């Protein structure tokens, strides 16, 4: 059994910042995440995407932000359980909780903080003939290791930020990159779209706009993706790997069964301290909802700070918050 003060479900940027705020108040944190690494969607989906709304950084790449946050929380020595999904929650007689994972890991904590972003997410799959035949070997809904595509012929499908960002990045890795989009314009960041257009003009990628996916084919391994254009002509594009990037379908998973107040797949909270309707359970970041909610990383940071001020009373019930300025492991703290 792992014992800690606060169990944070979700190791994305908001969950990591909660570790920092808790550490300033001398509360220990253990984080659990279904993904095999910290960083949440930033690391899993678009690690190379620039982020522009983090104070102090005109722009910072998603993975770099996570790396900086890991450096920031290192003095507080958080512990992690990665690659396991939270399955159940058991309240103890003293008000504390046992958080139990899919692999049977048990975390005993005084406070539970749900910082799961969009929750357990599943990729949106295209309606494509023979898709299931190649899913385990040649179809990739997330780019976990770019080197997997070194010197290979690939097709990327989608018109959002992930499709644009990975097209730009993999243009310097893969042997040949083809980007397919069903519309004639992109919905991703204009700067990223400009980079894709420039690569197409320079002949570094193939860009097929207003094309629809039809099927996959091959003899034992993926060889072609079949499309139709505006003229309803059939086109076969040679490829060794197919990367459909249509975003994620969020699901709360087992969390939805805990008796929390849910509104449209998000957890309702009190904006005083981002507490849920169940004592000692808080929700911060994109997974919560309240009037005026903005799904921004910096808003999640704000929510984490207020949450920790409230959680303190459960971890140290006989103490009041002290605001004497001091230093903890080289980090300025109150």
Contact 211, 235 (CB under 8 A): yes
* Rounded Cα distance, 186 and 82, in Å: 34
315 is an annotated ligand-binding site residue? no
Bridging pattern class, strands 111-114 and 6-9: parallel
CA–CA distance, 181 with 157 (Å, rounded to integer):
6
Alpha-carbon radius of gyration of the chain: 22
Which residue is associated with the tokens 């992109």?
186
| Helix or strand (DSSP H, E) at 235 | strand 234-238
169-195 core/surface letters (b: 16 or more CB in 10 A; e: else): bbbebbebbbbbbeeeebebbeebbeb
Flag whether 41 is marked binding: yes
Q: 318 among the known binding-site residues?
A: no
Q: With 0-12 CB in 10 A as exposed, 13-18 as middle and 19+ as buried, what is 150?
A: exposed
Distance CA 214, CA 226 (A): 5
272 is in an annotated binding site: no
- Give one DSSP letter per residue of 168-225, joined into a string: HHHTTTSSEEEEEESSSS--S-HHHHHHHHHHHHTTSSEEEES-EEEEEEESSSEEEE
Q: Annotated binding residue at 4?
A: no
The verdict on whether residue 242 carries a ligand-binding annotation is: no
Dist. CA 87–CA 237, nearest whole Å: 43
Residue 46 annotated as binding site:
yes
H-run or E-run covering 226: strand 222-228
Known binding-site residue numbers? 33, 41, 46, 86, 121, 286, 327
Please enumerate, by residue number, every residue annotated as part of a binding site for FAD: 33, 41, 46, 86, 121, 286, 327
């Amino acid at each position: 059994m792992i014992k800690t003060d606060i169990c944070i479900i979700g190791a994305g940027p908001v969950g990591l910042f909660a570790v920092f705020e808790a550490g300033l108040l001398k509360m220990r944190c253990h984080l659990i995440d279904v993904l095999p690494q910290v960083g949440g969607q930033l690391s899993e989906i678009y690690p190379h995407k620039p982020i522009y709304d983090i104070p102090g950084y005109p722009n910072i790449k998603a993975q770099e932000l996570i790396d900086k946050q890991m450096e920031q929380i290192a003095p507080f020595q958080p512990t992690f359980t990665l690659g396991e999904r939270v399955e159940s929650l058991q309240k103890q007689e003293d008000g504390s909780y046992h958080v139990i994972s899919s692999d049977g890991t048990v975390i005993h904590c005084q406070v539970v903080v749900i910082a799961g972003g969009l929750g357990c997410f599943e990729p949106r799959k295209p309606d494509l003939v023979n898709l299931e035949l190649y899913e385990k070997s040649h179809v990739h809904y997330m780019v976990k290791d770019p080197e997997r595509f070194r010197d290979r012929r690939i097709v990327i499908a989608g018109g959002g930020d992930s499709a644009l960002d990975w097209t730009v990045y993999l243009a310097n890795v893969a042997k040949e990159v083809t980007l397919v989009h069903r519309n004639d314009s992109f919905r991703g960041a204009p700067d990223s779209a400009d980079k894709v257009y420039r690569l197409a003009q320079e002949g570094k990628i193939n860009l097929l706009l207003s094309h629809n996916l039809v099927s996959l084919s091959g003899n034992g391994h993926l060889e072609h993706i079949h499309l139709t254009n505006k003229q309803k002509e059939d086109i076969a594009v040679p490829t060794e790997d197919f990367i459909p990037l249509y975003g994620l379908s969020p699901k709360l998973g087992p969390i939805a069964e805990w008796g929390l107040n849910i509104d449209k797949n998000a957890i309702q909270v009190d904006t005083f301290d981002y507490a849920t309707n169940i004592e000692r359970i808080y929700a911060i970041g994109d997974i919560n909802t309240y009037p005026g909610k903005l799904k921004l990383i910096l808003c999640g940071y704000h929510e984490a700070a207020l949450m920790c001020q409230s959680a303190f009373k459960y971890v140290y019930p006989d103490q009041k918050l002290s605001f004497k300025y001091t230093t903890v492991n080289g980090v300025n703290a109150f």
